[in-house]
Amino acid sequence: MQRTFMAWGALLAMLAVAIGAFGAHILKPVISEHYMTVYETGVQYHMFHALGLVLIALVAGQWGESARLRWAGWLLMIGIVLFSGSLYVLSITGIKVLGAITPLGGVSFIAGWICLALEAFARKPQR
């Protein structure tokens, strides 16, 4: 689990940089300012949650693997695909119905962070 989330976190962070550069250099002159803002929001959340995966991998190395940490990692990955992915496609295509998918990604992000918090609260204090 630790290796999996570290690898996915690093790859997704790299992808966030590449997608951000694509937006800044290729899309900016092509799409409206509104859709550029939507796109940038997708990139920001993508990067934050890719780093969240790295954090989960590091925590798993410290605390050991658990079902809650596993769920946290998978939920953050699902959130990146649904939240950021829908914003990318929406901003490029203008298909507004894709905005209905975005909140599902947001819920995945929230649930992932809750899983991490629950794992932290479940840990016994070290003396």
Secondary structure of the chain as H, E, C letters: CHHHHHHHHHHHHHHHHHHHHHHHHHHCCCCCHHHHHHHHHHHHHHHHHHHHHHHHHHHHHHHCCCHHHHHHHHHHHHHHHHHHHHHHHHHHHCCHHHHHCHHHHHHHHHHHHHHHHHHHHHCCCCC
pLDDT at 125: 76
- pTM recorded for the entire structure: 0.94
Q: Could you give the angle at which helices 33-63 and 2-22 cross, rounded to 10 degrees?
A: 160
Q: What is the pLDDT of residue 75?
A: 98
Q: pLDDT means per 10 residues in the chain (127 residues)?
A: 96 98 94 96 98 98 96 98 97 92 97 98 81
Report the alpha-carbon distance of residue 59 to residue 1 in Å, rounded.
11
